[in-house]
Structure 1
Amino acid sequence: MEWENVDAVLLDLDGVLTPTAEVHMRAWATLFTGVLEDLPEGDGDDVDTSPYTDEDYFEHVDGRPRYEGVAAFLGSRGIELPHGTPDDAPDAATVCGLGNRKNVLFNELLDAEGIEPYPGSVALLDHLQDRGTAVAVVTSSRNGPHVLDTSGLAERFEVVVDGTVAAEQGLAGKPEPDTYRYAAERLGTDPSRCAVVEDAVSGVQSGAAGSFGVVVGVDRGVGADALRSAGADVVVTDLAELLPREQQDAWRDRIPARP
């Protein structure tokens, strides 16, 4: 990375700073497996009840706001439910109800197991702090503050744009660039001087659509080719790869091999 051209770094949270993407995946899998199993027999010839897979997560859910992820998956299986409202109970048979149920499952897992940030991500944050580079978290999740508190990262970020902030400000979610542009505005930095760091295809697309200085894709499982096709300028498997070369020696054996 040519950090001389970057004044601010805008980072996704789940899968970039913390391994909570895996926790989200488990919560989604529990939710949608139950939804498919509970469908009544003969619910329609166009309804696909084949088992939920990680491919469903990466194609329909990863990086999207929660209710949009629910709607996208249900639509892919031909399942029709009323949208409902964000106030729906977690057991409501609506898009919002299912989204709220997933949130309950996620927080139960997070509270039970806790979460530690990726060491390489912490190393990069330390480097950016040393050079005076501004940082912000931009996440579609409404659980951003909870994850930051649990992982011990909360004090590192004065600007956090999460799903709640996006709703309050009327910002379109990823893959639109609005949330990242809002973070840049909050930091007082021109987008052309910002780096966007994302592990989801929809997040990389949002960075590419916003005319940011550089878009970094972090391959935590979606695939380097998919991230490049979505608009990533650089693809890494660990944020330690973005450290200055002389600092990478200490991390070389800890960075996963890139496919």
Structure 2
Amino acid sequence: MRLDPRTVDAVVLDTDGVLTNSRALRSAAWQETLDAYLAQYAHVTGHPRPRRAVSASRVGGLTGLLEQDTAAALLQAQGRLANLAEQHLGPAGEDLLDLLVRYADHRFLELLQSEGVRARSGAARLLFDLRAAGIRTAALSTSRHGEQLLRSAGLVGLVEDRVDAADAEHYQLAGPPEPAMYRLALKRLHCVPGRAALLTDTAAGLAAGARAGFGRLVAVASDDAPWEGPEPVVPGLDAVVVPPAVR
């Protein structure tokens, strides 16, 4: 698959799952969070511990959403277990979603510190090639730690800009499948949508890119979560070619 500088001025790439393998750590953090929630439910209510209703692969797919949306989707799939009031997990009156997000984020940072993340095969080469061809790049993450992820993977100096959940919170942007975060990336790259390409490994990202008007949408097979949409366009970044710019 080719990204031709004659037709593409900028490329937005998902940090989680496309540039790095961080989706696996986020999935693990959320699985542990959900398991802790179910164990606490059993402890507080005296009921048997419910079985987790969401498969590990499904949890991985949900990490393409903002953390609040991931928590809401997991609770909806689990039936929310309304008997578990907020005061059983944290300060009275605190929102259950906020508690779960904070727990998952804390666990994710622990995993990031202890295990780190790695760049996916071909990521550094592709970013170098895009820069050499004069194509601007931005990395987009639905976590709050986009810069840390890129730094851990050795890619932080290879992208021109970043958008992550901290930006979404600051500007009050909805996450995928809504297009707002992707439009912000395009704005920072000073690129009209039709001259931009998006590389994503989630169906939510693909839907957001389509709504943002990207001229090129590329589904990339993930190392960590099954593709939820049509067959991936490319099996990985090694299959993406950037021809030299014509001077």
TM-score by length of 1: 0.80
Moved over 3 A (4+): 47-52, 80-84, 221-224
The yes-or-no answer on 1:141 pairing with 2:143 is: yes
Query: Is the contact between residue 83 and residue 96 of structure 1 (CA under 8 Å) also seen in structure 2?
Result: no
1:220-231 alignment, distance < 5 Å: 220=222, 222-224=225-227, 226-228=228-230
Q: Which residue of 1 aligns with 2:191?
A: 189
Q: Partner of 2:12: helix, strand, or coil?
A: strand
1:32 to 22, 31, 34: 34
1:42-121 alignment, distance < 5 Å: 49-50=51-52, 52-58=54-60, 61-79=62-80, 80=82, 94-121=96-123
Cα 1:93–1:169 shift into 2, 3 Å: closer
> Greater relative contact order: 1 or 2 (C-alpha under 8 angstroms, separation 6 or more)?
2
Q: Which residue of 2 aligns with 1:238?
A: 236
Query: Is the contact between residue 56 and residue 73 of structure 1 (CA under 8 Å) also seen in structure 2?
Result: no
Give the CA deviation at 1:167: 1.2
User: Separation in 2 of the partners of 1:27 and 1:177?
Assistant: 26
Structure 1: gaps spanning 5 or more residues: 246-259
1:130-181 CA-to-partner distances (Å, cap 9, x unmatched) read 1010000111110111112222211222311110011111211111111111
Cα 1:58–1:208 shift into 2, 3 Å: farther
Give the CA deviation at 1:56: 3.2
Query: Is the contact between residue 32 and residue 52 of structure 1 (CA under 8 Å) also seen in structure 2?
Result: no
In the alignment of these two chains, the number of paired residues is: 233
1:54-84 CA-to-partner distances (Å, cap 9, x unmatched) read 243145x221110111011101111147799
TM-score by length of 2: 0.84
Q: Which moved more, 1:149-158 or 1:6-15?
A: 149-158
2:173 to 171, 181, 199: 171
Cα 1:161–1:26 shift into 2, 3 Å: same
Q: Which amino acid aligns with 2:113?
A: D
Give the CA deviation at 1:40: 2.8
Give the CA deviation at 1:235: 1.6
User: Separation in 2 of the partners of 1:183 and 1:244?
Assistant: 21
Q: What root-mean-square deviation, in Å, do the aligned CA atoms of Structure 1 and Structure 2 show?
A: 2.8
Structure 2: gaps spanning 5 or more residues: none
User: Separation in 2 of the partners of 1:66 and 1:222?
Assistant: 17
User: Separation in 2 of the partners of 1:134 and 1:119?
Assistant: 20
Q: Which residue of 2 aligns with 1:126?
A: 128
Q: Which amino acid aligns with 1:67?
A: Q
Query: Is the contact between residue 137 and residue 161 of structure 2 (CA under 8 Å) also seen in structure 1?
Result: yes
